[in-house]
Amino acid sequence: MKATDPEPVPPPHRLSLVVPLYNERDNVAPLLAGIHEALAAYPDPWELIAVDDGSSDGTAERLAGEADRYGPHVRVLTLQRNFGQTAAMQAGIDAARGDLIATLDGDLQNDPADIPRLVGRLLAEQLDLVVGWRRRRQDNVWLRTIPSRIANRLIGNITGVRLHDYGCSLKVYRTAVIKQVRLYGEMHRFIPAWMSVQTAPSRIREEVVNHRARQHGESKYGIGRAFRVLVDLLSVYFFLRFLTRPGHFFGRIGLLSGGAGLLVLAYLFAQKLLFAASIGTRPLLLVGVLLVLMAVQFLTTGVLSELIARTYFSSSQNSSYAIRPEGSEALAFEAGWRTRHG
């Protein structure tokens, strides 16, 4: 494209913003004001879905008041209790009606002004996910920044989706793809990896975004998060590679164990047959028998896991959250969108 050519115009779309909040009462008003300022000139319709994750500090009431002030394009979902960030994010994604979905934290550390740029890149390059990269993080170096960098490197090596910042909540998704991914537990940390199950890793890119220091409230994360990430990473590795064929995972372990056990028993048998050695009291005999028994257990576990996997894929999906009845009314698709003209 020549330098004199006009910038390509993004195709018409509708954008849904999803913001999970937990005990962020003092951040509600500046958050919504910042979002509306950042998207004041946005050329396409958009909506904001704020999900209160069972807050106990009055966040839900503050959200309701702000929603009444801004209009029907601001929708508030109030969960019955604190289900966790992953479930709150899934609730917002389920309620989103846009062609694209943008997520960001409710602690004001993500800058809403970056959203149009991320959306523009996703549409211009025909991507399915654009992940924010907090290159200059405004967090504690030892408690959050360094552990996060180590975790990002480890996650990238194991999952094959190499990004600088897995933990940034500021992301833009193509709705048709993200709604094929169900989020449970604390899966929000590994969304790019889970997305790679539904789309090619080449359609997942990252973009440098602004990051601001927290002004109000307290961080919900500590050094203990690093240990949870390591445990969750084992689950991610299993599900990414063996979700549809768990028998291969357990079968490999079973075959290795059985092969080692048979070699041990063959060695002992040769010792007994050729040299009349006494093997009845040798610890190696017990090791060989245990390895063979472990092989049988792993192989049978693989068969059972295959049956469970078939049941899993044929069963209906259950939600990981519950919304209060007064916040679950359906909204007509054409109602409640924010445009430049009102």
SS (H, E, C) 209-256: CCECCCCCCCCCCCCHHHHHHHHHHHHHHHHHHHCCCHHHHHHHHHHH
Among 216, 242, 268, the domain boundary falls at 242
Indicate the Cα dihedral angle 131, 134, 135, 137, nearest 10°. -170
Same domain for 238 and 266, yes or no, is no
Same domain for 256 and 238, yes or no, is no
Same domain for 273 and 220, yes or no, is no
Same domain for 164 and 295, yes or no, is no
Range of the domain at 270: 246-312
**How far is 70 from 49, CA to CA, in rounded Å?**
13
> What are the residues whose beta carbons fall under 8 Å from the beta carbon of 118, sequence distance 6 or more?
102, 130, 132, 170, 171, 172, 207, 209
> What are the residues whose beta carbons fall under 8 Å from the beta carbon of 43, sequence distance 6 or more?
10, 340
**How far is 120 from 86, CA to CA, in rounded Å?**
26
Same domain for 62 and 151, yes or no, is yes
Q: Report yes or no on 278 lying in a domain.
A: yes
Left if phi > 0, otherwise alpha if psi is -120 to 50, otherwise beta: which for 58?
left
Q: Report yes or no on 2 lying in a domain.
A: no
**Average pLDDT for 83-97:** 94
pLDDT band at 23 (very low <50, low <70, confident <90, very high): very high
Same domain for 87 and 102, yes or no, is yes
Number of folded domains that form the chain? 2
**Average pLDDT for 1-19:** 74
Quote the tokens at residue 88.
């709150």
Same domain for 211 and 259, yes or no, is no
Same domain for 120 and 211, yes or no, is yes
Cβ–Cβ under 8 Å, residues 106 and 31: yes
Lowest-confidence segment of 21-35, 102-116, 140-154, 223-237 by average pLDDT: 140-154
Q: Report yes or no on 21 lying in a domain.
A: yes
Q: Report yes or no on 328 lying in a domain.
A: no
Cβ–Cβ under 8 Å, residues 231 and 156: no
On the question of pLDDT at 58 being above 70, the answer is yes
Among 188, 219, 242, the domain boundary falls at 242
**How far is 167 from 285, CA to CA, in rounded Å?**
49
For 257-300, write each residue's pLDDT tens digit.
999 999 999 999 999 999 888 888 899 999 999 999 999 999 99
Half-sphere exposure of 225 (CA within 13 A, CB side): 18
Q: Whole-number mean pLDDT of the chain?
A: 86
Q: Report yes or no on 320 lying in a domain.
A: no
Cβ–Cβ under 8 Å, residues 94 and 319: yes
List the 15-21 sheet strands across, edge first.
74-78, 46-52, 15-21, 100-103, 171-174, 129-133, 204-208
Same domain for 204 and 57, yes or no, is yes
For 179-226, write each residue's pLDDT tens digit.
988 887 777 878 898 888 888 888 999 999 998 877 776 665 555 566
Same domain for 196 and 146, yes or no, is yes
Residue 177 dihedral angles phi and psi, to the nearest 5°: -90, -50
| Helix axes of 146-159 and 191-198: crossing angle, nearest 10 degrees | 20
**How far is 337 from 73, CA to CA, in rounded Å?**
5
**Average pLDDT for 300-323:** 77
**How far is 301 from 314, CA to CA, in rounded Å?**
20
Q: Report yes or no on 220 lying in a domain.
A: yes
Q: Report yes or no on 198 lying in a domain.
A: yes
Left if phi > 0, otherwise alpha if psi is -120 to 50, otherwise beta: which for 81?
beta
Amino acid at 322: A
Same domain for 109 and 200, yes or no, is yes
Here the CATH number for the domain that contains residue 141 is 3.90.550.10
Q: Report yes or no on 5 lying in a domain.
A: no
Same domain for 160 and 84, yes or no, is yes
Lowest-confidence segment of 22-31, 113-122, 145-154, 277-286 by average pLDDT: 145-154
For 222-263, write each residue's pLDDT tens digit.
555 666 777 777 777 887 788 788 999 999 999 999 999 999
**Whole-prediction pTM:** 0.78
Predicted local distance difference test score (pLDDT) of residue 230: 72
